[in-house]
Amino acid sequence: MSYKVEKVNPYDTNQPKNEQVARMFNEIAPNYDKLNGTLSMGIDTYWRKDALKQLKKYNPNHILDIATGTGDFAILAQQMLKPEKISAVDISDGMMEIGKIKVDKKGMSKTITFENQDCSAMTFNDKSFDAAIVAFGVRNFENIDKSFQEVLRVLKPGGVFLFLELTTPEKSPMKQFYAFYTKHVIPFLTGLFATEQRAYKYLPASIAAFPQGKEMMSILEKNGFTRIRIKRYTMGICSLYIAEKPIV
């Protein structure tokens, strides 16, 4: 089954979505951290921290950080959870190069490693990880079902899959604020930062097309996950999904 968001692409070309996404992030990588912090007004740090708090009871030793980008979620996971190892993967070498510099400066390069991997066809062995995490990357997947099945495969029985994703607010006044922000503020800021604006037109389009709430919970269940929960942040701007791999 395909989902609407899988057909939302950064560029109007015949390239596969994963190739377009990699191209987009390679192009915006130099400005990504500064612009992302400005666009989110720093609130994404709170969302990430609260999400990782949910992992503490699982005490994961080996974490897979999918769509790691410049490594912020992996770095925060290392600081908060102190696992033995974090394998950070992405399809954008440009983003990961910046992540490697940040990790090295923090003295975490022995714990956090980076590797170019497509999450729909990973090379890791079965039952390799205690937890898999994603921050704002699932809507960029070319094939959500195949990627979720891969996550299930590489998780140990009882392992947890946790991801944050931006969502479209449904209630006032946040609904109106979000509409104004995406229509006027994002284009202004991307122009100010001299950043590829097509990439940030893709942002609200992919959020709008993303399966949300109960629909996403059903997708996780269909792909073999159990004990699925959802937590919403900031009047519906962001959602946290938590699911587990069955023990048996």
Would you kindly state where each structural domain of the chain is located, as residue ranges? 4-244
Residue written as token pair 């073999």 = 224
The pLDDT score that the predictor gives to residue 194 is 47
Point out the least confidently predicted range of 24-33, 119-128, 130-139.
Answer: 24-33
Confidence check: pLDDT of 192 > 60: no
The pLDDT score that the predictor gives to residue 184 is 59
pLDDT digits (tens, 9 = 90+) for 158-189: 999 999 998 877 777 766 766 666 665 666 55
| pTM recorded for the entire structure | 0.93
Q: What is the mean pLDDT of the chain?
A: 89
174 versus 244: which is more confidently predicted?
A: 244
Structure tokens at 236: 């519906």
Confidence check: pLDDT of 200 > 90: no
**Domain 4-244 CATH assignment equals 3.40.50.150:** yes
Q: How many helices (H) and strands (E) does the chain have?
A: 9, 7
Residue written as token pair 């390239």 = 15
The pLDDT score that the predictor gives to residue 66 is 98
54 versus 180: which is more confidently predicted?
A: 54
Q: What value does the mean pLDDT take over residues 218-243?
A: 95
CB contact at 8 A, 203 and 197: no
CB contact at 8 A, 66 and 161: no
66 versus 35: which is more confidently predicted?
A: 66
103 versus 25: which is more confidently predicted?
A: 103
1 CB neighbour count, 10 Å cutoff? 8
Burial of 12 (0-12, 13-18, 19+ CB in 10 A): exposed
**C-alpha pair distances (Å), 208 with each of 94, 145, 192:** 26, 19, 25
Confidence check: pLDDT of 193 > 50: no
